[in-house]
A and B are shown apart, each in its own frame.
Chain A
Amino acid sequence: MEHIAALVALTLAAGTPLVFAALGELVTEKSGVLNLGVEGMMLVGAVVSFIVAASTGAPWLGALAGIAAGAALSLVFGVLTLSLMANQVATGLALSIFGIGLSAFVGLEYVSVVIDGIKPLGISGWSDLPFFGKLLFAHSPFVYLSLVLFGLVEWFLFHTRAGLVLRAVGESPASAHAIGYPVIAIRYLAVLFGGACAGLGGAYLAVAYTPLWTEGMTAGRGWIALALVVFATWKPRRVLAGAYLFGAVTLAQFQAQAIGVAVPSQLLSMLPYVATILVLTIISRDAAMIRLNAPASLGQPFHPDA
Chain B
Amino acid sequence: MRIRLEPRAEPSQLMRWASPVLAVSATLAVGVVLFSLLGKNPLQAFYVFFVKPVDSLYGVAELLLKASPLMLCAVGLAAAYRANVWNIGAEGQLTLGALCGGGLALALQDAGGSWLLPSMILAGALGGMAWAAIPAWLKTRFNANEILVSLMLVYVAKLALSYLVHGPWRDPEGFNFPQSKTFADAALLPNLLAETRLNTGFVIALAVIAVGWLFMRRSVIGFQMRVAGLAPAAANYAGISAKRTVWLGMLISGATAGVAGVNEAAGPIGQLLPSMSPGYGFAAIIVAFVGRLHPLGVLLASLLMSLLYLGGEAAQISLSLPSAVTGLFEGTLLFFLLASDVFIDFRLRVLRRPVRSAADVQPVAAGGTG
Contact A267 B331 (CB under 8 A): no
Contact B162 A303 (CB under 8 A): no
Q: Is A223 an interface residue (CB 8 A)?
A: yes
Residues of chain B in range 1-23 having any CB-CB distance to chain A below 8 Å? 5-7
Contact of A104 among B167, B327, B342 (CB under 8 A): B327
With both beta carbons as reference points, the residue of chain B lying nearest to A291 in the complex is identified as: B143
Pick the interface stretch among A137-145, A156-164, A171-179, A282-290: A282-290
With both beta carbons as reference points, the residue of chain B lying nearest to A223 in the complex is identified as: B151
Q: Is A12 an interface residue (CB 8 A)?
A: no
**Complex formed: what's the CA distance from A280 to B148 in Å?**
9
Q: Is the interface of B mostly helix, strand, loop or mixed?
A: helix
Cβ distance B272 to chain A, nearest Cβ, rounded Å: 14
Contact B159 A269 (CB under 8 A): yes
Query: Interface 1/0s, chain B 314-348, versus A by CB < 8 A?
Result: 00000000101111111110110011011001100
Q: Is A273 an interface residue (CB 8 A)?
A: yes
Q: Cβ of A89: which chain B residues have Cβ within 8 Å of it?
A: 86, 147
**Complex formed: what's the CA distance from A100 to B327 in Å?**
7
With both beta carbons as reference points, the residue of chain B lying nearest to A285 in the complex is identified as: B142
Contact A36 B147 (CB under 8 A): yes
Contact A220 B155 (CB under 8 A): yes
Q: Is B60 an interface residue (CB 8 A)?
A: no
**Complex formed: what's the CA distance from A287 to B138 in Å?**
12
Contact A86 B338 (CB under 8 A): yes
Contact of A266 among B88, B162, B334, B338 (CB under 8 A): B162
Contact of B335 among A76, A100, A267 (CB under 8 A): A76
The interface size of chain B toward A, counting residues with CB under 8 Å, comes to 47
Residues of chain B in range 125-170 having any CB-CB distance to chain A below 8 Å? 134, 138, 142-145, 147-149, 151-153, 155-156, 159-160, 162-163, 166-167
Contact A102 B152 (CB under 8 A): no
**Complex formed: what's the CA distance from A105 to B149 in Å?**
28
Contact A284 B159 (CB under 8 A): no
Contact of B338 among A80, A267, A306 (CB under 8 A): A80
With both beta carbons as reference points, the residue of chain A lying nearest to B334 in the complex is identified as: A94
Most buried by A among B151, B282, B327, B341: B151
Q: Is A270 an interface residue (CB 8 A)?
A: yes
Contact B335 A99 (CB under 8 A): no
Q: A277-B138, A277-B144, A277-B152 are in contact. Are A101 and B338 (CB under 8 A)?
A: no
Q: Is B286 an interface residue (CB 8 A)?
A: yes
Q: Is A84 an interface residue (CB 8 A)?
A: yes
**Complex formed: what's the CA distance from A212 to B156 in Å?**
24
Q: Cβ of A281: which chain B residues have Cβ within 8 Å of it?
A: 138, 142, 144, 149
Cβ distance A291 to chain B, nearest Cβ, rounded Å: 10
Contact A91 B148 (CB under 8 A): no
Q: Is B309 an interface residue (CB 8 A)?
A: no
Contact A277 B149 (CB under 8 A): yes
Q: Is B285 an interface residue (CB 8 A)?
A: yes
Q: Is A260 an interface residue (CB 8 A)?
A: no
Q: Is the interface of A mostly helix, strand, loop or mixed?
A: helix
Contact A91 B338 (CB under 8 A): yes
**Complex formed: what's the CA distance from A44 to B260 in Å?**
30
**Complex formed: what's the CA distance from A247 to B254 in Å?**
31
**Complex formed: what's the CA distance from A101 to B326 in Å?**
7
Q: Which B positions have Cβ atoms within 8 angstroms of A?
A: 5-7, 86, 88, 134, 138, 142-145, 147-149, 151-153, 155-156, 159-160, 162-163, 166-167, 282, 285-286, 289, 322, 324-332, 334-335, 338-339, 341-342, 345-346
**Complex formed: what's the CA distance from A97 to B279 in Å?**
10
Contact A108 B155 (CB under 8 A): no
Q: Is A259 an interface residue (CB 8 A)?
A: no
**Complex formed: what's the CA distance from A27 to B334 in Å?**
26
Q: Cβ of B329: which chain A residues have Cβ within 8 Å of it?
A: 101
**Complex formed: what's the CA distance from A223 to B147 in Å?**
9
**Complex formed: what's the CA distance from A91 to B339 in Å?**
9
**Complex formed: what's the CA distance from A89 to B338 in Å?**
11
**Complex formed: what's the CA distance from A99 to B332 in Å?**
10
**Complex formed: what's the CA distance from A101 to B327 in Å?**
4
Contact A273 B156 (CB under 8 A): yes
Contact A80 B143 (CB under 8 A): no
Contact B6 A97 (CB under 8 A): no
Contact of B324 among A97, A104, A287, A305 (CB under 8 A): A104
Q: Is A54 an interface residue (CB 8 A)?
A: no
Q: Is A230 an interface residue (CB 8 A)?
A: yes
Q: Cβ of B88: which chain A residues have Cβ within 8 Å of it?
A: 93
Contact B7 A102 (CB under 8 A): no
Name 14 extra pairs, CB < 8 A, besides A90-B289, A266-B163. A80-B339, A94-B286, A97-B286, A101-B330, A102-B327, A220-B152, A224-B152, A227-B145, A264-B166, A266-B160, A266-B162, A280-B138, A280-B148, A284-B143
Cβ distance B299 to chain A, nearest Cβ, rounded Å: 21
Cβ distance A101 to chain B, nearest Cβ, rounded Å: 3
**Complex formed: what's the CA distance from A273 to B150 in Å?**
11
Contact of A280 among B5, B144, B325, B328 (CB under 8 A): B144
Q: Cβ of A56: which chain B residues have Cβ within 8 Å of it?
A: none
Contact A223 B324 (CB under 8 A): no
Contact of A98 among B5, B143, B285, B334 (CB under 8 A): B334
Contact of A102 among B138, B167, B282, B328 (CB under 8 A): B328
Q: Cβ of A95: which chain B residues have Cβ within 8 Å of it?
A: 331
Contact of A86 among B6, B167, B282, B341 (CB under 8 A): B341
Cβ distance A17 to chain B, nearest Cβ, rounded Å: 16
With both beta carbons as reference points, the residue of chain B lying nearest to A108 in the complex is identified as: B322
Contact of B145 among A93, A266, A280 (CB under 8 A): A280
Q: A36-B147, A108-B322 are in contact. Are A97 and B159 (CB under 8 A)?
A: no
Contact A97 B138 (CB under 8 A): no
Contact B6 A305 (CB under 8 A): yes
Contact of B328 among A94, A98, A227 (CB under 8 A): A98
Q: Cβ of B339: which chain A residues have Cβ within 8 Å of it?
A: 80, 84, 86
Q: Is A257 an interface residue (CB 8 A)?
A: no
Q: Is A276 an interface residue (CB 8 A)?
A: yes
Q: Cβ of B149: which chain A residues have Cβ within 8 Å of it?
A: 277, 280-281
Cβ distance A16 to chain B, nearest Cβ, rounded Å: 21
> What are 9 A-to-B residue pairs whose CB atoms are below 8 Å?
A80-B338, A84-B338, A94-B331, A101-B325, A105-B325, A266-B159, A266-B162, A269-B159, A277-B153
